[in-house]
Copies of this chain bind each other. A is one copy, B any other.
């Protein structure tokens, strides 16, 4: 149980490993920050960027969906180690409230860690708000050969 609570990779290590794979991903200007990881979860900040706006002055659904997909990916890598080829098989997102023109905070929580499939729940809020902007459930396929 102790082991389960310890992530295999820290937020810092993940940013170092992921940076070259996803150029620009951690730019302070509109990119992401991995704020925290733990066994089975992650908290990711998406820095506000006016280019993400859509008609109505709200942040685009595409921006929310990318964040909803990235947060569990980070949680999986933090929890089981470097398996960059883990792929999303399914993502279902509900858009609940138009996000303000501010940073977004996503919290991913793994609700299943199987040998082949991992499933996460993701809550997305505007920074400083209680109400959810979006809620997603995402499933990932873990390449068996990659898990050590």
Contact = CB atoms under 8 A, between A and B. Distances in A.
A91 B65 contact: yes
Given A55-B21, A135-B121, A94 B65 contact: no
Most chain B Cβ neighbours within 10 Å, of A55, A70, A85, A89: A89
Nearest to A123: B111
Interface string A57-88: 00011100110011000000000000011011
Interface of A: 21-24, 51, 54-56, 60-62, 65-66, 69-70, 84-85, 87-98, 111-112, 116-117, 119, 121, 132, 135, 137, 139, 141
A15 B123 CA distance: 32
Contact of A89 (B22, B87, B117): B117
How many subunits of this chain does the assembly comprise? Answer: 4
A95 B89 contact: yes
Contacts of A119: 94, 96, 135
Contacts of A117: 89, 141
The 4 closest A-B pairs by CB, nearest first: A62-B66, A92-B92, A55-B84, A65-B65
Given A61-B69, A62-B66, A84-B55, A93 B90 contact: yes
